Amino acid sequence: MTPRVIVIGLDCLSPDLVFERYAGDLPTFRSLMEAGCWGKLRSVDPPVTIPAWSCMLSGCTPSELGLYGFRHRKLGSYTEHYLADSRHVRRPRVWDYLVERGFSVGLVGVPQTWPVPSLRGFVVGDAPDATQGLTFPPGLADEIRRVVGEYRPDVTGFRSADPSDVLADIEAVTAQKFALFQHLLTSRGGDFLMMVDMGPDRIHHRFFRYCDPSHRLHGQVAGLADPVRRYYQRLDAHLARTLALVPPEAHLLVVSDHGARSLQGGFCVNDWLISQGLLTLKNPARAPRPFDESLVDWERTRAWAWGGYHGRIFVNLQGREPQGQVPASELGTFLERLSSDLSSIAGPDGTPMGNRVIRLVDPKGGVLPQGDYPDLMVYFGDLSWRALGSVGHEGWYTEGNDTGPDDANHDPMGVMIYRGPEVRSPGLSILDVAPAILRWFGVERGA
Ligand SMILES: [Zn+2]
């Protein structure tokens, strides 16, 4: 079957690197850009893999999907946490509309496609640890093994293992993903075909100091070859081999869910909340240790946080949390004050960090966010600092990350390159992508 739309998703692919720094080294990307249109694609808030890909493919915001990261806390519970997989995406994504209209689809490695759905076509799910049930139809697993050997959806241990092993591993997983997609493109085909590879994200988090001269650790790698550049050149070659199989009349999109930027360090958000008298632990942490809710003295706590690329702050709200301390009538003023205090935090050099605070519930009323939303999301240094949830640090700032080395954080601007029969650009917001794909099939969203 001749594919009508092909989407190549490269998680975290950076527009600054593709369009500028490495532009002269990427002939395939360049030829696509020259033949079509391209630009920076604005991600959602938060610009993280989950929910960003599902937002791109559903046209829904995180608040509409009720997804705010990979891990979630059940609202009103201190102990109930879950990871958001395919079962937690409760709005249709493009393939749901297409299959309903009789089109066939093929998905390889698209985030939040595990457990794999049954549909007209094929799916290779995205669970890095699943050894069973990774494909639909189940028999596809044997074909994959025959063609590319033992399939690995993602690299594990990319923060901790030896750098040269990590680099080889990331390159091998990316090469396998492209080889598999190329095989399925010709062996099975489909009207809508999409792959996502996590490689660029893994490369940036581990090796960004090599490619950004302004990175605080760049000096340590002077004189060494840039593994990020080499990785992008290899991506370019994989793309060239894939394009050779794409019919010239097909709509082709190369997209990323967000970009990357240098990481300055970590901000210990729970230690900061403790210093403000908003969070109290049953026993003060004397040395750095991971945070979990069992450490908290809830009767003396008004707010606590989770770390990650962005910080998520939860209010211990009366009537919602079991031992809530902030009366519902005071929530608005409490969040306003907390947002203002978070926004004005100074960095280690005494100048403002430039923190951005996002409140998901509209203070003027309006539609409540879906699902288990945090009360605030915080971008420390506008995402040039990571939020650290762990407690017991000496100060609020750390050079490193508490979950292993990390060179990069996410940037809200990703990549969009389109080549195809349409003259106009599909749009430069991640939320424009699903409507454009459906338009190319003549399918109305919501139909
Ligand atoms: Zn991502």
Q: What is the mean pLDDT of residues 207-217?
A: 81
Separation between Cα atoms, residue 200 and residue 12, nearest integer Å: 6
Expressed in angstroms and rounded, the spacing between residue 201 Cα and the centre of ligand 1 is 6
C-alpha 11 – ligand 1 centre gap (Å): 5
Can you tell me the distance from the alpha carbon of 432 to that of 440, in angstroms, rounded to the nearest whole number? 13
Phi, psi for 339 (deg, rounded to 5): -60, -45
* Residue whose C-alpha is closest to residue 301's, from 289, 311, 293: 293
Interatomic CA distance for residues 40 and 428, integer angstroms: 6
Residue 127 confidence (pLDDT): 82
- Determine the distance separating the centroid of ligand 1 and the alpha carbon of 296, expressed in angstroms: 31
pLDDT digits (tens, 9 = 90+) for 299-325: 999 999 999 999 999 999 999 999 999
Measure 9 CA to ligand 1 centroid, in angstroms: 10
What spacing in Å lies between the alpha carbon of 346 and ligand 1's midpoint? 28
Q: Is the pLDDT of residue 223 over 60?
A: no
Q: Alpha helix (H) ranges present in 80-158?
A: 94-100, 140-148
Cβ atoms of residues 280 and 274 within 8 Å: yes
Residues 257/12, Cβ–Cβ less than 8 Å: yes
Contacts of 235 (CB under 8 A, 6+ apart): 10, 13, 26, 174, 199, 200
Q: What is the whole-number distance in angstroms between the Cα of residue 125 and the centre of ligand 1? A: 16
Q: What is the pLDDT of residue 444?
A: 82
How far, in Å, is the centroid of ligand 1 from the Cα of 365?
31
DSSP 419-430: ESS-SS---SBG
Ligand 1 center–CA 47 separation, angstroms: 7
pLDDT at residue 443 greater than cutoff 60 = yes
Q: What is the average pLDDT across 163-192?
A: 94
* 270, two tokens: 């729970």
Ligand 1 centroid to 135 CA: how many Å? Answer: 22
Distance from the alpha carbon of residue 257 to the mean position of ligand 1, in angstroms: 5
Among residues 12, 56, 54, which one has the least CA distance to residue 154? 12
Q: Which residues contact 202 (CB under 8 A, 6 or more apart)?
A: 154, 155, 158, 166, 170
Instruction: Tell how far the Cα of 407 is from the centroid of ligand 1, in angstroms.
Output: 15
Q: How far is the CA of 151 from the centre of ligand 1 (A)?
A: 21
- The pLDDT score that the predictor gives to residue 445 is 77
Q: Looking at residue 410, what DSSP letter applies?
A: E
Ligand 1 centre and the CA of 82: distance in Å?
Answer: 19
**pLDDT at residue 157 is higher than 80:** no
User: How much is the pTM?
Assistant: 0.95
Q: What is the distance in A from the centroid of ligand 1 to the CA of 272? A: 28
Domains of the chain, each with CATH number or no CATH = 5-263+410-440 (3.40.720.10), 265-398 (no CATH)
- In angstroms, the CA 428 to CA 180 distance is 29
Q: Is the pLDDT of residue 350 over 70?
A: yes
Greatest extent of the chain over all pairs of C-alpha atoms, in Å: 65
At residue 447, the pLDDT reads 46
CB 410 within 8 A of CB 50: no
Q: Look at 31-35, 97-101, 217-221, 386-390 and tell me which has the smallest mean pLDDT.
A: 217-221
CA angle 196, 201, 203 (to 5 degrees): 120
Q: How far is the CA of 292 from the centre of ligand 1 (A)?
A: 25
| Distance of CA 438 from the midpoint of ligand 1 (Å) | 23
The tokens 């809200």 sit on which residue? 412
pLDDT value at residue 382: 95
Side-chain half-sphere exposure of 135, counting CA atoms within 13 A: 17
Whole-number Å distance between alpha carbons of 125 and 123: 6
Mean pLDDT for all residues in the chain: 93
Q: Which contiguous run of DSSP H or E holds residue 376?
A: strand 376-379
* Cα 379 to averaged position of ligand 1 atoms, centre (Å): 16
Query: pLDDT band for position 425 (50/70/90)?
Result: confident
Indicate the pLDDT class of residue 404, thresholds 50, 70 and 90: low
The CA distance from 262 to 17, in Å, is 13
Lowest mean pLDDT among 52-56, 57-61, 358-362: 358-362
pLDDT band of 424, cuts 50, 70, 90: confident
Residue 401's pLDDT band (cuts 50, 70, 90): low
pLDDT score, position 175? 98
Cα 332 to middle of ligand 1, angstroms? 32
Kindly tell me if the per-residue pLDDT of 2 is higher than 90. no
Tell which residue, 110, 179, 106, has the closest CA to residue 144: 179
What is the Å distance from ligand 1's center to 258 Cα? Answer: 6
Phi, psi of 296 (to 5 degrees): -90, 140
Q: 278 CA to middle of ligand 1, Å?
A: 32
Q: How far apart are CA 151 and CA 114, in angstroms?
A: 15
Distance CA 399, CA 397 (A): 7
Strands 413-419 vs 251-255: parallel, antiparallel or unpaired: antiparallel
Q: Is the pLDDT of residue 126 over 50?
A: yes
Residue 287 has pLDDT above 80, yes or no: yes
Centre of ligand 1 to C-alpha 158, Å, is: 15
- What percent of the chain is modeled with pLDDT above 90? 81
Does 241 score more than 80 pLDDT? yes
Checking if the pLDDT of 222 tops 90, the result is no
DSSP 321: S
pLDDT for 196: 98
Interval 13-38: pLDDT, tens: 999 999 999 999 999 999 999 999 99
Say yes or no to pLDDT of 284 above 90.
yes
What is the whole-number distance in angstroms between the Cα of residue 127 and the centre of ligand 1?
14
Measure 51 CA to ligand 1 centroid, in angstroms.
9
pLDDT in tens, 57-114: 999 999 999 999 999 999 999 999 999 999 999 999 999 999 999 999 999 999 999 9
Question: How much distance in Å is there from the Cα of 48 to the middle of ligand 1?
Answer: 5
Ligand 1 centroid, distance to 297 Cα (angstroms): 35
Please give the distance, rounded to the nearest whole angstrom, from the Cα atom of residue 106 to the centre of ligand 1.
20
Band of the pLDDT at 403, cuts 50, 70, 90? low
C-alpha distance from residue 418 to each of 163, 250, 327, 415, 441 (Å): 34, 10, 50, 10, 16
From the CA of 202, how far away is ligand 1's center (Å)? 9
